[in-house]
Chains A and B, each alone.
Chain A
Amino acid sequence: MTDTEDGLTPLHPNHVKVTRIVAFLFALPFVIGAIVLEVVDVLPFGVFVVPVVLVAAFLVIRVPLRRYHARGFDMAGDRLRVVRGILFRSDTVVPFGRIQHIDVNQGPLQRAYNIATLTVHTAGTHNASVHLPGLANEDALAMRETIRAHIKRDTM
């Protein structure tokens, strides 16, 4: 499924777990709602629960994995390349020399799994900030240092 196979580094496997938990938390209210509707017995058994649980299982199990495989990055020499998307693919290259500033963010879930999101900001109106989630925290910090070393002076 990767038509941009050339030497991309995959994300940290923990990224799948985190996205699954997020998807699960998203799907949970719908599943509960479906079960409640089943219990009150308005329609024949299974009309709500079966499709809702199937969709939820797909969102929680299948989609994060596919998205994980679709994502990748490459830090080659003087540029950062970020590839993402299953249906709508996007392949972005940001030269280090054009990066204005760099963020490393961790949410509570990401901290529990020791991964982080690296965000680079450019002066461009399009792609003003490029996000790269699912990096091992140490890797994200190391990448930040590498990029920073390339930016000699962040003059605008």
Chain B
Amino acid sequence: MQQAGGPEPVIADTGLEPKRTDPLSFAVRAVASLQNAIVPMIAVYFATNDEPWAFAAALGIGALIAALSAGGAYLTWRRLTYTVGAEDIRVESGILSRAARSVPYERIQDVSLEQSLIPRFFGLVQVKFETGAGGGEDLALSFLSEEEGERLREVIKARKQGVTAADPRSAAAEAEPEADVLFAMDQKRLFTFGIFEFSLAVFAVLAGAAQYADTFIGIELWDADLWGEWLDGPTSWIADLGPMAQIISALAGLLTLIVVGSVTGLIKTYLRDWDFRLERSEKGFRRRRGLLTKTDVVMPIHRVQAIKLGTGFLRRWFGWYGLKFVSLAQDSGSASHDVAPFGKISELGPIAQVAGFAIESDAGTKWHRGSRKYRVDSAIIELLFLAIIAAGVAAGLFFSEAASPAWAFLILALGGLLFARQLFLWRFDYNAVDSRFLFVKQGWLAPKLDVASRVKLQSAEIAQGPISRRRGYATLKLGLAGGALQIEGLPKVRALELREAIMASIAQTDFSELAG
């Protein structure tokens, strides 16, 4: 094993030596670890509250924790080296036990640079190499200087394309930003987007906080007496107001809800999508965004497996849609990459085209609906499900005599609604296959469109349950790298036809030709 003092070059012929991450990353870790010291400090301060030296003890504990984690951070930094080799990138790490990971360039799906707040102050980035392996088992280097991160990315892109330049530095130097901007969001767009991202998540957070207060402060929020006292007591001002005022206050409450929701949406959107830019560089798509945490993701064009076009039930009426790419790599936890979260169809079409996809089928393509029998069956199943619940509730009410069993009719009515809804929604589910793509359209108020390339699908399964076999329809489940695609309730004939069409186009293209 290598000594920390003098790592040997792993790849001698290119003269590349293992490198360490930026020394400042040690500082970043130290600052970040200060957060960990806060809680113990407070705990010690309150535990020794009576003593005159309480404050000193708290500071001492804080300093001790900070020193320990700084020491750990230093050792970690010292013992982590990376080597950009001829065929792979290797990282060796570990203080006591050592781990070495090697990722071949061909297997790197995309390279992203991420900058959260603290590293940004130091001018550092985290470089992530996405391989598409499950469970987040990818390679990340935290932290490198911005220039080094940029250089590394260029080197990897060049290496992937087989440009095995003798000196990677030259490869980095010549690769230059003559990128076309495919999509960007200005302030006005971002603001509109934020308004549509209306979210009441903040109330969930407040409810959580209230629960917390409940446990620690002893105010029992769910205790009806407390609220009763508030309303009936000397401060029972709401009840004293007339009905008009009550309506006004209800409206004011609603308005508050709308304002809070919009502001939450705005903040969320501004944080995530500030300065959103999607570019087409010669290496693929490059997306940059973020206000506090900046991310910079590059995805090769041929890695795009399918595209998803979505919208919301409100924004749709204003013509706003969002476009996502499905690939094996993950985008900060979610399976698909946001490439244009908020744009007009006329803007999104060209982006899809650059990726080799289309959002509209060839002229003359026939769109098909699901099986009519499936329409009826699925609606009946929904109704039956609620009818059983209703029967259970009715029986419960009848025997316990807590309330009239007639209340169960409410549930049955809900079942009726769901029944009608299912019948109705069927009208909006379409599928089509044209010369190159498979289209799946779903939804009424917020329609979604999935477009998969026929040749990029991996497998096709026709699944049937006991009912669907008797009634002659089936679910077509398609294997898609990095995503899910299935069409329910297809007539059996149509499912077979689609599968045959897909298989025929796959047979013509070997997978290795796709990889490019």
A residues in contact (CB < 8 Å) with B: 3, 77-79, 87-95, 97-98, 122-128, 130, 151-156
Contacts and interface: CB of A to CB of B under 8 A. Distances in A.
Contacts of B481: 123-125
B371 to A, nearest CB: 15
A71 to B, nearest CB: 15
A78 to B, nearest CB: 5
A155 B511 contact: yes
Contacts of A123: 328, 458, 479, 481
B469 A89 contact: yes
B161 to A, nearest CB: 14
B499 interface: yes
Q: Which of B132, B483, B509, B510 has the most CB of A within 10 A?
A: B510
B515 A156 contact: yes
Contacts of A127: 458-459, 461, 477, 479
Contact of A125 (B464, B483, B512): B483
B480 interface: yes
B462 A98 contact: no
A125 B466 contact: no
Interface of B: 106-107, 132, 328, 457-466, 469, 477-486, 499, 503, 506-507, 509-512, 515
Contacts, number: 100
Given A87-B465, A88-B463, A126-B485, 11 more contacts: A88-B464, A90-B464, A91-B463, A94-B479, A98-B511, A122-B479, A124-B480, A124-B481, A126-B486, A127-B458, A153-B512
Given A79-B503, A97-B511, A98-B511, A91 B482 contact: no
Contacts of A87: 465-466
A75 B221 CA distance: 66
A77 B508 CA distance: 12
B503 A89 contact: no
A130 B106 CA distance: 26
A-B pairs, 5 with minimum CB distance: A124-B479, A124-B458, A122-B458, A92-B461, A155-B515
Given A89-B469, A156-B107, A124 B464 contact: no
B459 A95 contact: yes
Given A125-B481, A155-B106, A89 B463 contact: yes
